[in-house]
Amino acid sequence: MSSDQSNGADPQPKNAGQPEKAPRSMSATTTRRALAAVAAGAVVAAIATFAIAGGFNRSENLPAHSTGSGPQATGSVDGDAFASAAAGDCLDWTPSNDPQEDRKDVAKVDCSEEHRFEVAAPLDLSVYPGAEFGPGSRYPGALRFAALRDEHCVPAVDTYLGAKFDPYGKFSVGLMFPSESGWAAGERTLRCGLQFSSTAGTLLPFTGKVAEQDQSNIWDPGTCIGINQNVPTDPVDCAQPHAFEVISVVDLATQFPSSMPSVEDQDKYLEGVCTQAANEYLGSADALRNKTLTLFWDNLELDSWLAGSRRVNCSVGKETDAGGFSTITGSAKGEILINGAAPVPPPPVPEGRSVPTPLPGAVPVPGN
């Protein structure tokens, strides 16, 4: 590849072109993340206010939100690393906010080192019949590249991983392709591969080959996920505005070592485990209720289970009446602000009540 050619890696939000499920967030209407607002009070067992209000909310009513602008060519490439990359090669570069500078230094690295793209297969458009990709043809553009990714890269990744790809997991299918100048110079070979992209589409570094690791869609406990227009984005420092904070990672294999549990069985188990984790993470059984926070967890899909994924997140945040997230500042372990104000604890639970007082904004219990 000549020095004036460039490639772009698909910066679409994770799972674009794959079964719809919002990763690490509740930003799509088709997500199946279990959600329960916990009002534990002084008791150890969690009482879910959404259960009081009429059952668990599986978040199908949460708003769809797309932050990606489609695949783009994003910078020049020096050397031939991209042009010679084959299946199994790992590529990395120095990210830049300047589209003319980003990915100019694409290089092959050992997959045990941090990288941003693992090549699954080359895609040579020069062998395609017809004039669409022939000499002097028009640059395909974002929508066509996205269609090529969906049509060719998804099956290429399945073949590369031996049908062990988790479409709801940590990794997404990506496509690297020439820039307009590279296309004009005759470059027609693209690369299908795997990448670790945030909700907003930022490519994040990872180590190791995908086939050799658990693809579970998890974050380390203590990770705070940023917020934009009430929708989760990328990891941020917890002192910055964010949507939610991961408090624990649960391995479902410890409770369900053989067959995949139903969503209902997952919920029954995770309600107790995540509640205990919240009490320990926040320092007391009262903290979640007093900070008016919401406890929620992920569910595993069948495709994820078959791919070998077993771990899920337990997280805390605060849902808005419209179904998005409130803005939280500060770690839930300490003092926090919710939408710029300190949370006001709900009234204490009167002695003898069989049902705890719902959190502010919860639907009243029928009959009360």
Evaluate whether residue 24 is within a structural domain.
no
150 and 238 share one domain = no
Where is pLDDT greater, at 274 or 128? 274
**Residues 77 and 200 grouped into a single domain:** yes
Q: From 167, 182, 209, give the residue that closes a domain.
A: 209
Give the whole-angstrom CA distance, residue 79 versus residue 105.
8
Q: Residue 86 domain-assigned?
A: yes
Within this chain, do residues 117 and 189 fall inside the same structural domain, yes or no?
Answer: yes
Residue 20 is predicted with a pLDDT of 43
Q: Lowest-pLDDT range, 49-53, 58-62, 192-196?
A: 49-53
Determine how many CB atoms are found less than 10 A away from the CB of residue 345.
14
DSSP bridge pairs for 337? 329
Is the pLDDT score of 347 beyond 90? Answer: no
202 and 150 in a common domain: yes
Quote the pLDDT of residue 47.
22
Higher pLDDT, 222 or 143: 222
Q: List, for residues 118-144, the tens digit of each pLDDT value.
A: 999 999 999 988 889 999 899 988 889
| 343 inside domain | no
Mark whether 124 and 164 lie in a shared domain. yes
| Token output for 27 | 């930003």
With respect to residue 19, please indicate whether it lies within any of the assigned structural domains.
no
> Do 142 and 249 sit in the same domain of this protein?
no
Is 360 contained in some domain?
no
Q: What is the mean pLDDT of residues 231-237?
A: 91
Q: How many domains does the structure of the chain reveal? A: 2
| Residue whose tokens read 């509740």 | 26
- pLDDT at residue 181, as a whole number: 80
- Who's near 77: CB < 8 A, 6+ residues apart? 1, 3, 5, 6, 7, 83, 103, 104, 105, 106, 182
Which two three-digit tokens encode residue 266?
Answer: 């997952």
**Stretch 83-104: mean pLDDT, rounded?**
80
CA dist 26 → 53, 64, 131, 237, 278 (Å): 20, 9, 43, 20, 19
| pTM (predicted TM-score) | 0.71
- Structure tokens belonging to residue 252: 């479902």
Average pLDDT over residues 68-88: 58
Q: Are residues 257 and 151 in the same domain?
A: no
Residue 4, pLDDT above cutoff 80:
no
pLDDT value at residue 267: 97
pLDDT of residue 246: 98
Percent above pLDDT 70 for the chain = 71
User: What does the pLDDT read at residue 180?
Assistant: 80
Structure-model confidence comparison of residues 117 and 79, the more confident one: 117
DSSP β-bridge partners for residue 107: 92
In the chain, the percentage of residues whose pLDDT exceeds 90 is: 52
Q: What whole-number distance in Å separates Cα of residue 192 and Cα of residue 291?
A: 45
Q: Which domain holds residue 167?
A: 7-14+67-209
What is the pLDDT at residue 154? 92
- Joined tokens for residue 234: 């990328």
Give the long-range contacts of residues 348-351, CB within 8 A, separation 24 or more: 348/41, 349/41, 349/42
Q: Which amino acid is at 274?
A: C
| C-alpha distances in Å from residue 229, one per residue of 59, 148, 331 | 17, 31, 20
CB count within 10 Å of CB 114 equals 13
What integer pLDDT is reported at residue 198 of this predicted model?
Answer: 76
Examine the domain organization and report whether 56 and 79 are in the same domain: no
Measured between alpha carbons, how far is 153 from 161 in angstroms, rounded to an integer?
A: 12
Distances (CA, A) of 166 to 55, 85, 144, 158: 29, 24, 25, 9
Mean pLDDT score across all residues of the chain: 77
pLDDT score of 83: 81
With 0-12 / 13-18 / 19 or more C-beta atoms within 10 angstroms meaning exposed / middle / buried, residue 26 is: buried
Cite the beta strand spans of 126-205 per DSSP E: 172-178, 189-197, 203-204
**Spatial contact of 283 and 293, defined as CB atoms under 8 Å apart:** no
Residue 261 and residue 330 in one domain: yes
Q: What is the mean pLDDT of residues 338-358?
A: 76
Q: How many CB atoms lie within 10 A of CB 60?
A: 12
Q: Both 44 and 112 in a single domain?
A: no
- Residue 361 pLDDT exceeds 80: no
Position 89 pLDDT exceeds 50: yes
Q: Is the dihedral of CA 234, 10, 22, 143 positive or negative?
A: positive
Are the CB atoms for 316 and 293 separated by under 8 Å? yes
Among 209, 225, 252, the domain-final residue is 209
Residue with tokens 């669409």: 132
Q: What is the per-residue burial (b if ≥16 Cβ within 10 Å, else e) of 305-328? A: bebebbbbbbbbbbbeeebbbbbb
> Which tens digits make up the pLDDT trace of 169-199?
999 999 988 878 888 888 888 999 999 987 7
